Amino acid sequence: MELDKIHTPVLLERCLELLDPALAKPGAWAIDATLGMGGHSLAMLTRYPNLNLIGLDRDPQALEIAGTRLAAVADRAHLVHTVYDGIEGALESAGVSGVDAILFDLGVSSLQLDRAERGFSYAQDAPLDMRMDGTSELTAEIILATYREGDLRRIFEDFGEEKLAGRYARAIIAARNEAPITRSGQLVQILQDATPAAVSRNGHPAKRVFQALRIEVNTELSVLSAAIPAALDALNVGGRIVVLSYQSLEDRIIKRLFAKATASTAPAGLPMELPEHAARFRLLVRGAELASDAEIEENPRAKPVRLRAAERVREG
């Protein structure tokens, strides 16, 4: 396997540009909270020879590949098998109290998408697994076999924003009463058969259901809601955070938590803001930045990305 060709990091140069003042500090520490195959981390450690980095990932396969890619800078790369809400524990394991830069590159990784046997893609027939961490117990197959119709509808609505959630949930219940649903190809066929011909749809009928199952299997949104506050607390003053998200549910969480962190806590009606009420963070970009047409042409997986970034401006 040619490791340098298996993954193209999304918005790499823009991430480095935003993080540069923090990464260039003498003795700087960074966290790559979604290490994946190490593309962003390798670029940071190569460009900043005095940087130390903590790389987190729940996927043992990703950690193994990243470890190989980062072998030349292994003395400055501390890799930890954990979900990204485990930032506090990762800092303790590295003997660090705070960091200067944090990067999140959310969603399913290229490794998981490109390996059919992981079951993340509706375009390839494979076992319905979808675990980012193969050591965890819950799989998409178990969800489809055991969840009640109402629970299936809920996750399709909440995590997939699927308008046909009820119809799809009923179709899955009917199908599993005939035979176990164990492969992605079976599920795709069930969804296609349950989709009315007259319904105008954007994209593949399985896209939102597969997204919902993946989020449920890996508890992605609840983990993210805990991880971002932990990341903000871990940043030193002057530290910077960049988050790349790929679907609206993730981006809404980031937007809400960044808005809270960059807002004053002063009670309404005070004639002036006291220092202890000043915002702890400031936004580095207006709204969510999108990938350029050139970036998307070079790396199609950048098309849905939404980038948000902030800087810590005070303690507290």
Summarised one tens digit per residue, pLDDT across range 217-258 is 999 999 999 999 999 999 999 999 999 999 999 999 999 999
Statement: residue 115 has pLDDT above 90: no
Higher pLDDT, 49 or 107: 49
57 is an annotated ligand-binding site residue: yes
20 is an annotated ligand-binding site residue: no
- CA 227 from centroid of its chain's CA atoms: 10
Q: How many CA atoms lie within 13 A of 6 on its CB side?
A: 18
Q: Phi first, then psi: give them for residue 6, nearest 5 degrees.
A: -90, -5
Task: Output the pLDDT for position 149.
Answer: 98
Tokens 């400055």, located at residue: 76
Pick the CATH number of 3-105+220-312 from 3.40.50.150, 3.20.20.80, 3.90.550.10, 3.10.580.10: 3.40.50.150
In the β-sheet with 52-57, what is the strand arrangement from edge to edge?
77-81, 52-57, 29-32, 99-105, 235-245, 306-312, 281-283
Residue (of 123, 109, 154, 141) closest to 9 by Cα position: 109
Statement: residue 4 has pLDDT above 60: no
81 is an annotated ligand-binding site residue: no
Determine the average pLDDT of the residues in 26-40.
Answer: 95
Determine the average pLDDT of the residues in 52-62.
Answer: 94
Task: Give the Cα separation of 63 and 135 in Å (integer).
Answer: 14
Task: Output the pLDDT for position 197.
Answer: 80
Return the domain boundaries, the chain. Answer: 3-105+220-312, 114-218
Q: How many CA atoms lie within 13 A of 62 on its CB side?
A: 32
Task: Give the Cα separation of 12 and 8 in Å (integer).
Answer: 9
Q: How many CA atoms lie within 13 A of 96 on its CB side?
A: 21
193 is an annotated ligand-binding site residue: no
Segment 165-196, tens digit of pLDDT: 999 999 999 999 999 999 999 999 999 999 98
Statement: residue 265 has pLDDT above 80: no
Segment 267-291, tens digit of pLDDT: 666 666 666 668 999 999 999 999 9
Task: Output the pLDDT for position 114.
Answer: 56
105 is an annotated ligand-binding site residue: yes
Statement: residue 300 has pLDDT above 70: yes
Interstrand relation of 29-32 and 77-81 (parallel, antiparallel or unpaired): unpaired
Statement: residue 109 has pLDDT above 70: no
Does domain 114-218 fall under CATH 1.10.150.170? My reply is: yes
78 is an annotated ligand-binding site residue: no
Statement: residue 86 has pLDDT above 80: yes
Task: Output the pLDDT for position 198.
Answer: 74
112 is an annotated ligand-binding site residue: yes
Fold match, 3-105+220-312 / 114-218: no
Task: Output the pLDDT for position 164.
Answer: 95
Higher pLDDT, 135 or 81: 81
Statement: residue 203 has pLDDT above 80: no
Statement: residue 116 has pLDDT above 90: no
Task: Output the pLDDT for position 3.
Answer: 47
CB of 172 within 8 A of CB of 213?
Answer: no
Question: Given pLDDT bands bounded at 50, 70 and 90, which one contains residue 2?
Answer: very low
